[in-house]
Amino acid sequence: MIYFDSAATTFQKPPEVAAAMWDALASMSSPGRGGYPAAVRAADMSFQCRSELAELFGLSNPEQVVFTLNATHALNLAIKSLVPPGGRAVISGYEHNAVTRPLAALRARVEIAAGPLFQPEAVLSAFDRLIVPGVDAVICSHVSNVFGFVQPIEEIASLCRSRKVPLIVDASQSAGVLPLDMKALGAAFIGMPGHKGLYGPQGTGVLLCGEGIPVRTLLEGGTGSLSIQQEMPEFLPDRLEAGTHNVPGIAGLLAGVRYVKRRGLEKILDRERRLTHQAAEGLSRIPGVKVYALPGLPHQAGVLSLTAEGADVESLGMALAERGVAARAGVHCAPLAHRTAGTLDSGTLRLSFSDFNKKEEISRLFPVIWGALENRR
């Protein structure tokens, strides 16, 4: 199988990820639940994972790193900590349902800072108009999960700091690929999956919490700390980590984070952008194919969308699957992004890459798509 769906989850992982998970299953129990060796090993490993994540993302205190089930869980915690029912939020035009559905559940008043694809100046201008007193939070995806559009998060963060409006960053497509510095951004929260660009297993996510930012719980239960009281502890990470931890998942995540740090963000981004450029160049030569990219891929990471004249994207995705190519077709849980880009009616076929894809796989993609289109016209 040729795998081009890393925006959903990275399928190829560093081999040490699985090895770390097996070791955790064999030698670790649950952190904070005892002083015996298996519990101590679990606690030490979990703290090491928090510490390495804090170092990677510019946090001075590892206890501000909260483990979650996934990025959606992290973003729900962040949004519901800052936006009250009926509150007010400003979001970009490229947000995932992990942002828009929690806001809808809160019946929040949402204003959309929309700009055309790959035009960060227009996006920034829209945020500039909408970040005003009375806004409870600004929420912005760093990179669009549909189009790979890298939004101007540093400049948006600067606006938020100057106007004293808290910022939530959805780093689902950028964590492990693009530099992110929590302290420099001054963000209230950054949510991310562990299983995409950080190469951990599915079922892992991370919420980075700004210092002094009040947090609201989604779950209450055992923490292994302050067990006599019936309220959740006020301190992090315990306040947001009720119940037994996913110890094998955290161990795998630690191995993935160490791979990213060892390999280096620059090299990972360079590989993904080279692959994306190769794919965009080749696909644009196929008659009837529209590729959503600008020449040279300015403001774009390793995600590429396309449509094809005379073929619906779902059928094209199925045809690729039949030929051993894994790609995602549809609206990608992001109807707002498609509405902003003008692709809501058709959806797109999305190709997304990781550090484990090869240029030879891209070359094999072109005849597969050409053949799939010929059979459907």
Which amino acid is present at 154? E
Read off the pLDDT band of 40 (50, 70, 90): very high
Residue (of 185, 176, 198, 190) closest to 152 by Cα position: 185
Query: Do residue 257 and residue 340 come from a single domain?
Result: no
Q: Residue 20 belongs to a domain with what CATH number?
A: 3.40.640.10
Q: Residue 340 belongs to a domain with what CATH number?
A: 3.90.1150.10
Query: Do residue 202 and residue 225 come from a single domain?
Result: yes
Inter-helix orientation angle 313-322/359-375, to 10°:
120
Query: Do residue 331 and residue 185 come from a single domain?
Result: no
**Model confidence at 376: pLDDT above 70:** no
End-to-end CA separation in angstroms for the chain: 25
Q: Provide the percentage of residues in the chain whose pLDDT is more than 70.
A: 99
Least confident residue range of 33-37, 43-47, 240-244: 33-37
| pLDDT of amino acid 310 | 87
| pLDDT of amino acid 377 | 57
pLDDT in tens, 107-130: 999 999 999 999 999 999 999 999
Query: Do residue 182 and residue 270 come from a single domain?
Result: no
Query: Do residue 107 and residue 168 come from a single domain?
Result: yes
Q: CA 231 to CA 229: how far, in whole Å?
A: 6
The residue from 218, 240, 263 where one domain ends is 263
The range of the structural domain enclosing residue 257 comes to 15-263
The residue from 263, 281, 309 where one domain ends is 263
pLDDT in tens, 124-178: 999 999 999 999 999 999 999 999 999 999 999 999 999 999 999 999 999 999 9
Mean pLDDT over 337-347 rounds to 98
Neighbouring C-beta atoms of residue 58, cutoff 10 Å? 16
Query: Do residue 198 and residue 319 come from a single domain?
Result: no
Mean pLDDT over 177-200 rounds to 98
- Helices assigned H by DSSP within the chain: 15-27, 37-56, 71-82, 97-105, 120-130, 153-163, 182-185, 247-263, 265-283, 313-322, 335-341, 359-375
Mean pLDDT over 345-374 rounds to 95
The residue from 263, 294, 313 where one domain ends is 263
| pLDDT of amino acid 33 | 87
Query: Do residue 258 and residue 272 come from a single domain?
Result: no
Read off the pLDDT band of 371 (50, 70, 90): confident
Asked if 171 and 142 count as a contact pair (C-beta separation under 8 A), the reply is: yes
| pLDDT of amino acid 373 | 86
| pLDDT of amino acid 133 | 94
Residue (of 304, 299, 256) closest to 276 by Cα position: 304
Query: Do residue 160 and residue 302 come from a single domain?
Result: no
Query: Do residue 139 and residue 35 come from a single domain?
Result: yes
Query: Do residue 240 and residue 288 come from a single domain?
Result: no
Supply the mean pLDDT for the chain.
Answer: 97
Query: Do residue 307 and residue 191 come from a single domain?
Result: no
For the chain, the domain total comes to 2
pLDDT in tens, 81-98: 999 999 999 999 999 999
Query: Do residue 149 and residue 24 come from a single domain?
Result: yes
Alpha-carbon radius of gyration of the chain:
21
Q: 367: helix, coil or strand? A: helix
Mean pLDDT over 344-350 rounds to 98
Mean pLDDT over 24-45 rounds to 96
| pLDDT of amino acid 374 | 81
| C-alpha distance from residue 143 to each of 132, 300, 337 (Å) | 24, 8, 11
Q: Provide the percentage of residues in the chain whose pLDDT is more than 90.
A: 97
Asked if 184 and 60 count as a contact pair (C-beta separation under 8 A), the reply is: no
Q: CA 129 to CA 109: how far, in whole Å?
A: 16
**Model confidence at 62: pLDDT above 80:** yes
